[in-house]
Structure 1
């Protein structure tokens, strides 16, 4: 049967599809995954077919690519290639009209709902509530709660995958143990925005659902912000749809404070690269200052018992993150640079923290720059402590991520 995919209508792979080289059943494959959730499911393809996909652009059609393939690998049959492209197109991986239709339907359904559904269940943590309880009980036992001063007001913790073992659970748990004594019923979460940057502060009115239930977003607070500083932030539900930095803290809060009725203010924070590119200072930005001032005023004037969480990682280096070196070669240097940033945080010096990163044009790709800066600017802490610091190295991709837990006291 002929595949109905016209030669002059061959579209490329979507630019936002994540790719990862994996081994499966003794062979190498390329995993294609859609973090935005428009494609139906992850899929694996051969490296050879992926190279064909990667070659498709506005300049090359299938005949050009087939000609190249024939020259490099001998006679290649076009029908199997077209069939695979058609299958990916049907799933939503290809930048075609099919994708735009799928995206419109998914977004329409999502925007109409009052709930932000989980995207990490079954991947970063178990999807079954009973399994989650068992998993997180062990997760938090990786450090002893008695080792940490439990009177902390707020914390900086990672948003890295829970499944990576003690190397990450020790960092997470040390932070949460330090706020075990808090009686807060509002948690303001500043999370990194990994996918969408429509503004500096992107909020949602949606309540957050996980397998452990639903956590309410404080819409009274959002109403106040909207009434008093509508131009300094945005309601961007789509920025929250694929974002894991808020969700991972929500499910940890649900488990850790399971007998408490609390609400959250979910804030994904946009990149500060524009300030670095322009050579300007975020401290002089009117929108940032107005948002922070208004948020602080609401908490203070209403005697809200609130804690803050910055959900961040530090450096991202290696091949996976578009560096031309194996991250293992730089782990010592990165630790030194991270320690300088952590020193600024411990001194409660947001301007120095930002300036260090800007001075090297974010060489180490610190994904926590904007959330940490906002976290520090919003509070007047008296003291900060470093709980744990760690580095995770992924040999398969020759890449690494660094992360830390810090606690803040009034």
Structure 2
């Protein structure tokens, strides 16, 4: 049975190659540069940037490459990202049944959306998804790394951390579910100033603080929701990479900051 309504890619050919062969080659190149660091357990959540791949792809790849050992286990990915183009209060679900990229279409987990549809602050609003890149740019990474998965795309506008945490908790699931929070760090400061601002923001993320300002992380609303739930679950954090666009492909006078972080549930030891 085909997927009825598909959201077409909005930023293919802009943020990442629109040709599947070029896209595959670029991602394989990014993955090849991540080294051999592997997780001993699968993260429950990752925090990754969402700029064009030439700027932040290497930072994102540090997290995605390490998911490969769990390619067959992870079958549902909940992606939470900020809205850049449409004003939004609350959390928008898509009406679409699939999200397309040059690699093909990822099916939306309608059952998961139904579980959160009635929660406070949640609405179905396709316009919030139509041109949004913060969720889309994560999909090709996931398509290359995982065997088969459905996606739960959540566009997060102005929303308090508890509302976001409630939605995350409802979708928590088991080892089949991964959460991806899409955020960049500070925007358009000079290189050194950005390094200082971003280092402090990363310190706060690693400490699971959930009152990070949107000026310091554009995905602060979804990020703070994840931080709140991570604190409640006693999760541990691991910084994989931090840099900015001045380190990759950009002008050092006005940079955007990036980080990738993995979050793990507490290990349960048998007694």
TM-score, normalising length from structure 2? 0.85
SS of 1:220's equivalent? helix
SS of 1:124's equivalent? coil
Alpha-carbon deviation of 1:198? 2.5
The 5 Å alignment of 1:281-320 reads 282=160, 288-289=162-163, 292-293=165-166, 295-300=168-173, 303=174, 305-317=176-188
Q: Which residue of 2 aligns with 1:127?
A: 18
Change (3 A) 1:210 1:408: same
Which of 225, 234, 237 is 1:384 aligned to?
237
Q: Number of matched residues?
A: 253
The 5 Å alignment of 1:73-88 reads none
Change (3 A) 1:150 1:156: farther
Which of 89, 93, 98 is 1:203 aligned to?
93
Structure 1 unaligned spans of 5+: 1-112, 273-281, 318-326
Deviating 4+ runs (over 3 angstroms): 297-300, 393-396
SS of 1:172's equivalent? helix
SS of 1:119's equivalent? coil
The yes-or-no answer on 1:176 pairing with 2:64 is: yes
Output the CA distance in 2 between the equivalents of 1:224 and 1:239.
Answer: 20
Output the CA distance in 2 between the equivalents of 1:365 and 1:382.
Answer: 23
The yes-or-no answer on 1:406 pairing with 2:261 is: yes
Output the CA distance in 2 between the equivalents of 1:241 and 1:155.
Answer: 24
Q: Which residue of 1 aligns with 2:130?
A: 241
The yes-or-no answer on 1:345 pairing with 2:218 is: no
The question of whether the paired residues in 2 share the 8 Å contact of 1:199 and 1:234 is answered with: no
SS of 1:350's equivalent? coil
Higher relative contact order (CA 8 A, sep 6+): 2
Structure having the higher Rg: 1
Alpha-carbon deviation of 1:346? 1.0
TM-score, normalising length from structure 1? 0.57
Structure 2 unaligned spans of 5+: 266-271
The yes-or-no answer on 1:265 pairing with 2:152 is: yes
CA RMSD of aligned residues (A): 2.2
Which of 214, 224, 229 is 1:373 aligned to?
224
The question of whether the paired residues in 1 share the 8 Å contact of 2:92 and 2:123 is answered with: yes
